[in-house]
Amino acid sequence: MSKSEKIIELIFGKRGSGKSYLAQKLMAGHRRYLIYDTLGEYKDGIVIQNLQELKPFWHKVYRRNFRIVYQPLKPVQEFESICELVWECENMAFLVEEIDCFCSSLSLGDSFQSVIQRGRHRDISLIGVTQRPHGIARLITSQAKQMYIFNTTEPRDIEYFRQVLGENVVQKFADLKQYEFVKWQDGNEQLEIGRA
Ligand SMILES: Nc1ncnc2c1ncn2[C@@H]1O[C@H](COP(=O)(O)OP(=O)(O)OP(=O)(O)O)[C@@H](O)[C@H]1O
Ligand SMILES: [Mg+2]
């Protein structure tokens, strides 16, 4: 079981920029995880595609180590049920692909909100991945401890990062090579450039 601090991390970038590749590497350090794999990109774990199959499996393994890749057939409809399982489970990592689809300010589910706001106290790490930064609820960005931002060229995304993280982050974009990201950490003035 990972003893590291449980935090919220976000990964931003255009199609093919290397988000899921990085996310997979971040997950490798976790012994108990569920990946909400909306695009069918992950292989590292047992792949399950419906709730009927997931629930009995989950009840067998949730006290032990597990690596579950959940590929929902109806991502929006099933998301809150998965968040309920995660919230009840505690002490695990939860990776959400296309997280912007589940957090428009009008439709933030109760369990997802609990995971975001109080997950730390239950040892739940949340890793969110998205191509659309401006679609992310402020509730999530305000709680995020680390953000990985791949090269961004869309004007409204640049403006978003300028407002949320500041001009120094935006200025780094021009230096980024393929698969490189700017790593922002809450409370740390220093920005890092990295690659998975
Ligand atoms: N650091 C890296 N080194 C080598 N190859 C990489 C690296 N990062 C990503 N790749 C490769 O680049 C391709 C695209 O990466 P990835 O699937 O992670 O992009 P993505 O941002 O998740 O894209 P999408 O938005 O379409 O899901 C993959 O084939 C992946 O293996
Ligand atoms: Mg991806």
Write out pLDDT tens, residues 84-108: 999 999 999 999 999 999 987 667 8
Q: pTM for the complete prediction?
A: 0.96
Question: Is 173 part of any domain?
Answer: no
Render pLDDT for 116-143 as a digit per residue (tens, 0 to 9).
Answer: 999 999 999 999 999 999 888 889 999 9
Q: How far is the CA of 119 from the centre of ligand 1 (A)?
A: 28
Does residue 3 register a pLDDT over 60? Answer: no
Chain-wide mean pLDDT for the chain? Answer: 94
Task: Count how many domains the chain has.
Answer: 1
Neighbouring C-beta atoms of residue 148, cutoff 10 Å: 23
Work out the end-to-end distance of the chain between its first and last CA atoms, rounded to an integer number of angstroms: 22
Residue nearest to atom 13 of ligand 1 (CA): 16
Q: Is 72 domain-assigned?
A: yes
Per-residue pLDDT band at 2 (split at 50, 70, 90):
very low
52, part of any domain: yes
Cα-to-centroid distance, 83 and ligand 1 (Å) = 26
9 pLDDT exceeds 50?
Answer: yes
C-alpha 66/C-alpha 187 separation (Å) is 32
Please report whether residue 14 resides in a domain: yes
Q: What are phi and psi of 82, to 5 degrees?
A: -70, -40
Phi first, then psi, for residue 42 (nearest 5°) are -110, 145
Does residue 33 belong to any structural domain of this protein?
yes
* Residue 110 covered by a domain: yes
Those residues whose C-beta lies under 8 Å from the C-beta of residue 37, and which sit 6 or more positions away, are 69, 70, 71, 97
Residue scoring higher pLDDT (139 or 67): 67
Give me 105's structure tokens: 């300010």
Which pLDDT score, from 0 to 100, does residue 4 have? 60
In angstroms, what is the span from residue 2 Cα to ligand 1's centroid?
25
55 lines ligand 1 (CB under 6 A): no
The domain containing residue 51 runs over which residues?
A: 8-149
Give the full edge-to-edge strand order of the sheet including 188-195: 46-48, 66-70, 32-36, 92-96, 124-130, 8-12, 146-150, 180-185, 188-195
Question: Distances from the Cα of 70 to the Cαs of 15, 82, 121, 156, in angstroms?
Answer: 21, 9, 24, 31
> Distance from the CA of 5 to the center of ligand 2, in angstroms?
25
Q: Is 74 part of any domain?
A: yes
More confident residue, 189 or 1: 189
**184 assigned to some structural domain:** no
CATH number at residue 43: 3.40.50.300
C-alpha closest to that of 64 among 79, 51, 77, 46: 46
Instruction: Give me the mean pLDDT over the 23-43 stretch.
Output: 97
Q: How many C-beta atoms lie closer than 10 Å to residue 110's C-beta?
A: 11
Q: What is the pLDDT of residue 72?
A: 97
Atom of ligand 1 nearest to the CA of 39: 27
